[in-house]
Chains A and B, each alone.
Chain A
Amino acid sequence: MPFGTGENSSIEKQSEVRELGDWKDEVEEIVFPGKISVPYSWTVGSTLSKWYAQIRDDAEIWANKCAECGMVFVPPKIKCINCYRDMNEWVKLPGTGTVETFTVVSYYEPKIHPRKPPFVYAVIKMDGADTGLVHFIGGVKPEKVKVGMRVEPVFEKERQGNILDIRHFRPIA
């Protein structure tokens, strides 16, 4: 039932009964801006805290290995994704790897992108591990990046214990 057509409506008694669509055409569209911006902080957990501390303190990338299926994971896992086993065996990786796939980001999202475009995101299959690591490719023009390219990590001098302690991976000369 359209608004304003109820028995007790005074509008109905007037000569012009307004249908739903009519009043909607004339509504001013009001928009409220939000004010709340919620700050978060995340507990890294034992497994990844150990991993990040090794990157920060020793500039070394480690993986962990499932004692049951033998799969080697980097970044390390809390439990093996296949066996759900505890992961107590740590393996130091050489740090080198191969570009499995990549994209050249050309659009600019200053709030979310940690680099100005153009920059390269890649999945890097790490030597000595069975999984890939996602990171930037740098030290090379984006158009020169290729699937299969051999790369090595470049560490920041001042390291904070996060993923950006690795500045990027660069081609092995």
Chain B
Amino acid sequence: MGTRVGIIGVGQTHHASKRLDCSGVELIAEAVTRALDDAELSIDDIDAFIIGNMDHFENINYVDMWATDGLGSFMKPVLKVTTGGTTGTTVAASAFYHVASGLFDVVMGVGWEKNSESDTQAAITTCSNPILERDAFAGAIGPLASEYSMYMKTYGATEEDAAIVAARDRNNALLNPYAHNRMKVTVQDVMNSPMLSYPIKLLDMCPRSDGSCAVIFASERAAKKLCPRPAWVHASVVRQDYTHFGDLEWEYMPTLERASAEAYKIAGITKPFREIDVAELYLPSSVTGVKWMDSLWLCERGGAPKLIRSGATHLDGEFPVNPSGGVIATNPIGATALIRVGEAAWQIMGRAVGRQIPNAKKALATGFGGCSWSSVMILGADLP
């Protein structure tokens, strides 16, 4: 085990479908400035930067150079990571590793995407294996839809179960001033929205957003000095499994099951449903908000529909999920998973204004990248 690490500041942009007032670099500057303000630090306090986006989405390579004046990283170490949907949690994990190693005291993680600058569906499809799967299984929606078809068949989950999740997250987004899509919707609105790829409908699916997020990680010594209530990192675990789409398990989510089991073990959590106060989960579509509850060990396999229908994952439930509105409200891809970590940290720090879960002491954040990578981070108010 390395040095203990705490999150001491979070900043994010106001996310939108198109931020024409901002270049990508200005978007980064907005998040970085807000994170520094949140932590009451200056850029001089930052020892190193971990940054991430999907550079082929904007077709700007060497973003680590291009982003310099937005980051404030001039003459400092910068490491860039790119891992699809999990980019933001890879940024968080890498910043955590940097500080935990004892080599750096204060490290800022920054994720961003300016999805309005390209054709996101086409860019996402370039993530698929060009020789085998790009033609026969293209797009972001098909694989997620296929996952849920199988789950419905095996466990009797319904399209309405997914619609409950969609309505929950979209209505939560009304409480979050930073969220991109802020709309009051009913389960019926979701059911009535146009079918994209059976069983996924328009309101079940995430948008593409312009946005950025910055999170500041500090060593135990620095965190105690700089922050009255840091969000301590209790566990950070990553699992990846992709070989071919056809090899994957579709009835559950093996990488999330394994990553969360390991994270709970490290964090000393034996009953996650009871012990975790709030979760910010990377749910690219509401259908995963049903199926993946099983894989987070919140119920037995196939138990998710009942859990969702019970209301336990709503804001006033025993296991509130995505008070921020989650990914189906806001999705600047390279920032999306880091926003999960940042929102979870704010819950612990008591700074999730308008969407604060009272007395949140343990928070779960996840990242997902197709197909099918999972990152899990557990944060706590108490020292690990």
Contacts and interface: CB of A to CB of B under 8 A. Distances in A.
Nearest to A134: B137
Interface in A13-42: 24, 27, 29, 31, 34, 36, 40, 42
A163 interface: yes
A90 to B, nearest CB: 17
B178 interface: no
Interface in A64-108: 73-75, 77, 81, 100-107
A130 B153 CA distance: 21
B123 to A, nearest CB: 10
Given A111-B122, A112-B125, A121-B136, A102 B149 contact: yes
Given A114-B138, A132-B246, A101 B147 contact: yes
A30 to B, nearest CB: 9
B197 A105 contact: yes
Contact of A75 (B125, B147, B200, B244): B244
A107 B197 contact: yes
Interface in A95-139: 100-107, 109, 111-114, 121-124, 131-136
A57 B51 CA distance: 48
A162 interface: yes
B247 A107 contact: no
B369 interface: no
B133, B146, B196 — which one has the most chain A CB atoms within 10 A of its CB?
B146
A113 B131 CA distance: 15
Interface in B229-255: 243-247, 250
Contacts of B197: 103-107, 121
A45 B153 CA distance: 37
Given A101-B250, A104-B198, A164 B135 contact: yes
Interface in B122-157: 122, 125, 130-133, 135-139, 141-142, 145-147, 149-150, 153
B145 A132 contact: no
A105 B200 CA distance: 9
A73 B243 CA distance: 11
Given A106-B196, A136-B136, A164-B136, A73 B247 contact: yes
Contacts of A135: 136
B353 interface: no
A77 B129 CA distance: 13
B198 A112 contact: no
B252 to A, nearest CB: 13
Contacts of A105: 139, 141-142, 145, 196-197
A36 B61 CA distance: 13
A75 B198 contact: no
Contacts of B196: 105-107
B44 interface: no
A26 B257 CA distance: 51
Contacts of B150: 100-101, 147
B135 A114 contact: yes
B141 A107 contact: yes
B103 interface: no
Contact of A36 (B59, B141, B146): B59
Given A123-B246, A123-B250, A132-B246, A106 B195 contact: yes
5 contacts: A105-B145, A107-B141, A121-B136, A124-B246, A133-B246
